Amino acid sequence: MDYIKVSEEDLLKWLKENLSEERYEHSLGAAECAKELAKDYALDSQKAYIAGLLHDCAKCFSNEKSMQIINECSLDVLDSEKNNYKTIHAPVSAYIAQKEFGVCDSEILSAIRWHTLGRVGMSDFEKIIFLADKIEYNTREFEYAEPIRNCLSCGKGLDGALLQCYRQTIKSLVDRDLKICPLTIEIYNHLNDVK
- For the segment 97-156, what is each residue's pLDDT rounded down to a tens digit? 999 999 999 999 999 999 999 999 999 999 999 999 999 999 999 999 999 999 999 988
55: nearest Cα among 14, 27, 24, 15: 27
More confident position, 1 or 79: 79
Instruction: Give the Cα separation of 52 and 147 in Å (integer).
Output: 21
- Alpha carbon dihedral 139, 81, 186, 98, in 10-degree steps, equals -70
More confident position, 178 or 189: 189
Instruction: Give the Cα separation of 64 and 56 in Å (integer).
Output: 17
Q: Span 33-50, mean pLDDT?
A: 98
Which ranges of 41-119 does DSSP label H, i.e. alpha helix?
A: 45-54, 63-72, 79-82, 89-101, 106-113
pLDDT at 2 over 90: no
Contact 77, 63 (CB under 8 A): no
Indicate the pLDDT class of residue 82, thresholds 50, 70 and 90: confident
For position 145, what pLDDT does the model report? Answer: 96
Q: Span 59-79, mean pLDDT?
A: 95
Indicate the pLDDT class of residue 39, thresholds 50, 70 and 90: very high
Number of helices followed by number of strands (H, E) in the chain: 11, 0
Share of the chain above pLDDT 70, in %: 99
For position 1, what pLDDT does the model report? Answer: 60
Instruction: Give the Cα separation of 113 and 78 in Å (integer).
Output: 12
